[in-house]
Amino acid sequence: MTRQHPPEISGYKAFQAFTGELLKQNEFTEKFFKKYEIWVFPAINPDGVDLGHWRHNFNGVDLNRDWAYYKQPEIDIITEFIVERAKKNHNRIMLSLDFHSTSQDIYYVYDKSFKSKLKNFSRKWTDIIDQGVYPFKTVLSPEPLGKPYSKTWYYKQFKAESITYEVGDETDRAIIRKKAEIAAVSMMKLLSR
């Protein structure tokens, strides 16, 4: 998902390239979609985008601080959708990726104290991505669960792996695209093993 924060366009660009790769028909997608579904949320905060807000929704609230309270309609709807659909279809939620932008390329991942369903996924995955765009280097930042981010919710709710994929505001657009394409293909490969 992306666009919780309206002006974070470089993260959105990565999301577009990432999603585009998943929509291609090839050996990776064919194998992957036999086992997995991907649920895509391309605009979590459409009113904020429309209104030109910096971080907030139409209520003046940062949506990525509402994932424990569900006070905002966007988060209430999306969390209910995910929980209900997973229950109905007997899906196991394995991984969440939330695309954002900030001053540099950085992956916010769980620290070692957390046991997600996808053990060691984040380290392996981010290593593969960075090898593909070497010498460009993304910062890996393991952190404890804290604020009511989407990342926190997916772990608490499903013990899912959850990564905030941050892209630098000024990162070269070709690098954003290449990284995201490698990210999509390597995610499919790792999850299909």
Kindly indicate which of the ranges 5-13, 116-124, 131-139, 180-188 contains the residues binding Zn ion, using the contact rule CB under 5 A: 5-13
Q: Are 133 and 172 in contact (CB under 8 A)?
A: no
Nearer Cβ to Zn ion (61/185): 61
At its nearest, how many Å lie between Zn ion and the CB of residue 100?
Answer: 3
Burial pattern 99-109, b for ≥16 Cβ within 10 A else e, equals bbbbeebbbbb
When asked if residue 3 is in the footprint of Zn ion (CB under 5 A), the reply is no
CA distances from 3 to 58, 70, 119, 169 (A): 14, 18, 27, 14
At its nearest, how many Å lie between Zn ion and the CB of residue 190?
Answer: 25
Can you tell me the distance from the alpha carbon of 6 to that of 48, in angstroms, rounded to the nearest whole number? Answer: 6
* Stretch 93-112 residues interacting with Zn ion (CB under 5 A): 100
When asked if residue 13 is in the footprint of Zn ion (CB under 5 A), the reply is no
When asked if residue 5 is in the footprint of Zn ion (CB under 5 A), the reply is yes
At its nearest, how many Å lie between Zn ion and the CB of residue 24?
Answer: 27
Q: Are 62 and 74 in contact (CB under 8 A)?
A: no
Helix, strand or coil for residue 141?
strand
How many residues bind Zn ion (CB under 5 A)? The answer is: 3
At its nearest, how many Å lie between Zn ion and the CB of residue 29?
Answer: 28
Binding site for Zn ion (CB under 5 A): 5, 8, 100
